[in-house]
Every structure is written in C-alpha cells, then in structure tokens.
C-alpha cells in the first residue's frame, strides 16, 4: 500500500511539473520587444532618476500640447487612433508609465500615484513641456488627477477617460466585473505565479471585459498586451501596484482642482462604472461629462473617431479662451 502511495505521489508531482512547464511564460527580452513595438516615432529618454522612458512625439509642433497617459497593464499604443485623428492640429506626446510597456520597472520601484507623478513631471520637464493639457485613461486618469493636485500651474486642462482616482459609488447600474488578473495581482500567494505564469487567455479575458464589442479584441491586440506585460519587471511592478491599491490610497481629494476638465465615459464600463464619472463631474467645479452609450472602458480604442472629435472640440474651447482658468462655456467678454 505504501509503495502505491509513493507511485501516486510521484505521478502527481510529475503531472504538476508538466503543467508548470507547459504554462510557464518567461519574460521577453527588452531588445526583442523593442524591435517589434518601438516602431515609427518611438524614442527613449534617460531621466535623471535613472528611469528610461519609452515615448512618442507627433503632430503639429505649433499646436497645443496634449500629453496622454495609458491605463493599467496597457501602453502608449492605446492612444494611436487618437494621435491619427488629432495630430494635424495638436502636438501629442504619449509615454509608457513605470512598470508598463517598454519603460519597464524604474529604479525607484514606486508604482503608486506619487511615484507615477514624479516620473511624469521628470519626463515633461526633460522635454521642456509647460502649459500643456494632460489626459489619462483608467489608472492614467488617476495619475492625471494626482499630477493636477501637485502641478496645476503647469497645466491648461485635463482629459479624463474612464478615469480612476475617485471611488465608485455603491449599487451601480453596471455591476463591477474586473478581470481575473485584477483579483489575483497584489497578493503574496499569487504574485510569484503571475510573474512566471501569465496565460494568453487571461489577457484575452481582461480585454473582453474592457470592451462592449468583442470584435475589438483581435489576436494582434491580445498579443500586444500579453507580450508587453512580459517585459522584464512589468509583472513584478503590477503586483506592487495592486498591493498599494488594496491599501485604499487610490481615491483622491480632487475638489480643489479648478482646471477645465473633459470627462469621457463609456456607459457600459464594467471596471469603473459610469456613476464614478458623475461623482467626478460633481467634484471638479470646471468640468463637463460626456457619456457614450454601448461603450466600455476604452472609448479611445472602441470609438476612436467619435471620442477624438469630443476631445478636439474641448481643445478648441481652450484655444479660444486666453485665460484657461475660466469655466467651460463662459464668455470671455
């Protein structure tokens, strides 16, 4: 009997090792990912802190500057359609935030809003950017709000796309249904697994929950998110970031922000419900809210032309008002 138990135990261990071997998804070397995804206008900037930022600058250098920050586990590629729609009139800068894309982990290892704000300010200062409009989606929206709280004097306006930074109210119409990876990341008992075993299917599941229309979730898009997540250091940074989220520090006191602010929201968002945008609109005294029916968490990818037109109209209002501190819609005369 003992002999059979040993055989069964050995078989189970062998099976477990086989499963781990088949599921193992190691990091992809930086150089390999750069060759594939640092294309076109991509460039790298070494910052005084030791971080190396992957970014793109395109558009009309004489136009108003728009700096865009992506969401959690995304990259600057999320803004490509907006860049195409707006670059004829505006100068657009996109960047991979710390622990994301080709920027990867940073020497500070600080992936909280504080660390992200420090990185963004170091980045825009290195590029000599001032009096720009800052925009962000999801996590990037939270970073945008946190940046405005500390550096409002450097900004002319905000564009907040399904933004984090404000706690969702209870009993929302669309029930919060975050991807499995969001629930797993940030725990001591699961981070090691996620840092070494990241199935492509878990990325696909997360993307499908971000869109209302699954046709947006193409094989190419899944591979982009899946492969950049495996940039050295990114999965470790994700664990640190989500551990911080669970400490409850990601909700900001934004009532003091007076900048002209455009709030965009997909009504079908399962990650950050539209009611959050309504609360944000109430707290930001100089803001307007535009809600898109049948759209999810990523309007800039799901309805790029429509959402970019909304942004263009907002920026045009800023361009016609010499004092950007005036409330939206107020006559300058």
Tell me how far apart the alpha carbons of residues 131 and 123 are, in angstroms, rounded to a whole number. Answer: 14
**Location of structure tokens 């995804």:** 37
Predicted local confidence at residue 333, as pLDDT: 28
Task: Give average pLDDT by consecutive 10-residue segment, the chain, 333 residues.
Answer: 55 43 75 97 97 98 96 97 97 98 97 97 96 97 98 97 93 80 63 74 93 95 97 93 80 95 97 96 98 98 98 91 43 31
Tell me how far apart the alpha carbons of residues 317 and 301 are, in angstroms, rounded to a whole number. Answer: 24
Q: List Cα–Cα distances, 71 to 137, 174, 210, 300, in angstroms.
A: 5, 20, 11, 11
Tally the C-alpha atoms within 13 A of residue 261's C-alpha that lie toward its C-beta.
Answer: 27
Helices (H) and strands (E) in the chain, counts: 13, 8
| Helix %, strand %, coil % of the chain (to 5) | 45, 15, 40
Query: pLDDT tens, 171-224?
Result: 888 888 876 766 766 666 666 666 677 889 999 999 999 999 999 999 999 999
DSSP 153: G
Other beta carbons within 10 angstroms of residue 65's beta carbon come to: 21
Q: What is the distance in angstroms between the CA of the first residue and the CA of the last residue of the chain?
A: 94
Which CATH topology does 30-319 take?
A: Rossmann fold (3.40.50)
Predicted local confidence at residue 16, as pLDDT: 41
Domain boundaries along the sequence of the chain = 30-319
Question: How do beta strands 42-46 and 52-59 pair?
Answer: antiparallel
Predicted local confidence at residue 178, as pLDDT: 72
User: In this structure, are residues 307 and 266 in contact, taking their beta carbons and an 8 Å threshold?
Assistant: no
Predicted local confidence at residue 108, as pLDDT: 95
User: In this structure, are residues 91 and 65 in contact, taking their beta carbons and an 8 Å threshold?
Assistant: yes
Question: Dihedral of the CA atoms 18, 20, 21, 23 (nearest 10)?
Answer: 120
Predicted local confidence at residue 307, as pLDDT: 98
């Amino acid at each position: 009997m003992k002999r059979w138990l040993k055989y069964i135990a050995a078989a189970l261990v062998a099976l477990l090792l086989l499963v781990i071997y088949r599921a193992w998804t190691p990091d992809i070397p930086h150089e390999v990912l750069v060759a594939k995804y640092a294309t076109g206008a991509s460039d790298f900037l070494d910052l005084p802190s030791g971080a190396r930022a992957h970014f793109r600058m395109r558009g009309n250098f004489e136009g108003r500057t728009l700096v865009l920050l992506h969401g959690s586990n995304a990259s600057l590629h999320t803004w490509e359609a907006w860049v195409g729609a707006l670059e004829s009139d505006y100068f657009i800068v996109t960047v991979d935030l710390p622990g994301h894309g080709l920027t990867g982990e940073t020497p500070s290892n600080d992936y909280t809003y504080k660390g992200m704000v420090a990185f963004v300010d170091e980045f825009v200062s290195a590029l000599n950017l001032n009096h720009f409009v800052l925009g962000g989606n999801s996590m990037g929206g939270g970073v945008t709000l946190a940046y405005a709280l500390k550096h409002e004097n450097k900004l002319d306006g905000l564009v907040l796309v399904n933004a984090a930074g404000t706690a969702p109210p209870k009993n929302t119409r669309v029930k919060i249904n975050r991807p499995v990876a969001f629930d797993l990341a940030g725990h001591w008992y699961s981070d090691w697994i996620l840092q070494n075993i990241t199935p492509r299917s878990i990325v696909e599941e997360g993307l499908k929950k971000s869109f209302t229309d699954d046709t947006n979730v193409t094989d190419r898009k899944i591979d982009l998110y899946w492969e950049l997540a495996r940039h050295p250091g990114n999965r470790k940074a994700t664990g640190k970031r989500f551990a911080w989220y669970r400490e409850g520090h990601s909700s900001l006191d934004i009532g003091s922000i007076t900048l002209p602010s455009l709030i965009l929201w997909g009504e079908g968002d399962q990650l950050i419900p539209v009611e959050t945008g309504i609360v944000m609109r109430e707290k930001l005294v100089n803001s307007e809210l535009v809600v898109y029916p049948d759209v999810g968490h990523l309007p800039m990818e799901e309805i790029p032309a429509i959402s970019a037109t909304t942004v263009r109209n907002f920026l045009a209002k800023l361009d016609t008002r010499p004092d950007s501190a005036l409330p939206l819609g107020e006559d300058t005369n």
